[in-house]
Amino acid sequence: MADIIGISSSDNGDGESPPVVYRVDGQDRIQFVNEGWRVFAAENDDQHSAEDYIGKNIWAFMDAADGAVVLHRHLAQEVRATGRAVFLRFPCDSIEIERDLEMSILDAGNDDLVYCTRQLDVRARVSVEAPAPKPFNLCRSCGKLETPAGWFSVFDLITRALITMDRAPMTIAETTYPGCSAASRVGE
C-alpha cells in the first residue's frame, strides 16, 4: 500500500505514533483524515496538505497493478457487502524503512468505510534479496482467490487467516473460478 496511507513513527523510532484514520464514501473518495494522517505526511515529506486528498479517490494514489492493492480493493467491497469489520496485518516499506502495520476496516453505513491503521513495528530496512513473488488466480466474476485450500473470498481468507500479506509481492491473474455461480449467472 502506498506510503500515503501507511503510518510511521518518528524517524528515530521513539514513542508512539498516532493511528492514521481516514474515511471514504461509497465511491472511495476520501471524506476525512485525522491528525495521525497529518503527522505521517509531515514525517514523510509529503508535499500535499491533507486537504489536497479530500474528495480524491483513495485508489488513485496506489499502484493498481500491485496484487496487494487488488486484494485491498476486493476487501473494501466485501466489508461493504457484509457490513462486517475486518482486521489485517501487512507490511508497508519505504526505501529506508520497514514497517509492519495493523489495519481495521469498518463499515460506517451508506457504503462509507473507515480505515484505521496503526504501526506494530518500524525498523531500518535491511537490504536482502527480495522474496519470490507469490502468484494467485482471482475469479473476475466473484472476486474469489484460489489457494491450496480452495477458492475463497479475500474477506474469508483474511478473517480465517488462510492468507498473510507478507513481503513477497503478489501477482494476480484474473480468470474464472470453474465453479463460480456469479459467472454462470451472467452467462459466462
Residues near Zn ion (CB under 5 A)? 139, 141-142, 177, 180, 182
Shortest Å distance, C-beta 95 to Zn ion: 37
- Residue pair 101/119 in contact (Cβ under 8 Å)? The answer is yes
Comparing CB distances to Zn ion, the nearer of 109 and 178 is: 178
Q: Which is nearer to Zn ion, 46 or 146 (CB)?
A: 146
127/181 with CB nearer Zn ion: 181
Q: How far is the CB of 107 from Zn ion (least distance, A)?
A: 23
Provide the residue count of the chain.
Answer: 188
Name which of 7 and 154 has its Cβ closer to Zn ion. 154
**Nearest distance in Å: CB 164, Zn ion:** 23
Residue placing its CB nearer to Zn ion in the complex, 118 or 140? 140
Q: Compute the least distance from the CB of residue 91 to Zn ion, in Å.
A: 28
Nearer to Zn ion, 13 or 135 (CB): 135
Backbone torsions φ then ψ of 49, nearest 5 degrees: -85, 160
| Complete DSSP assignment for the chain | --GGG-----TT--SPPPPEEEEE-TT-BEEEE-HHHHHHHHHTT-SS-HHHHTTSBGGGGS-TT-HHHHHHHHHHHHHHHH---EEEEEE---SSEEEEEEEEEEEEETTEEEEEEEEEEEEEPP--PPPPPEEEEEETTT-EEEETTEEEEHHHHHHTT-----SSPEEEEEE--TT-HHHHHTT-
CB of residue 168 vs Zn ion: minimum separation in angstroms?
A: 24
Write out the three cell numbers for 128. 536482502
Report the nearest approach of Zn ion to the CB of residue 139 (Å): 3
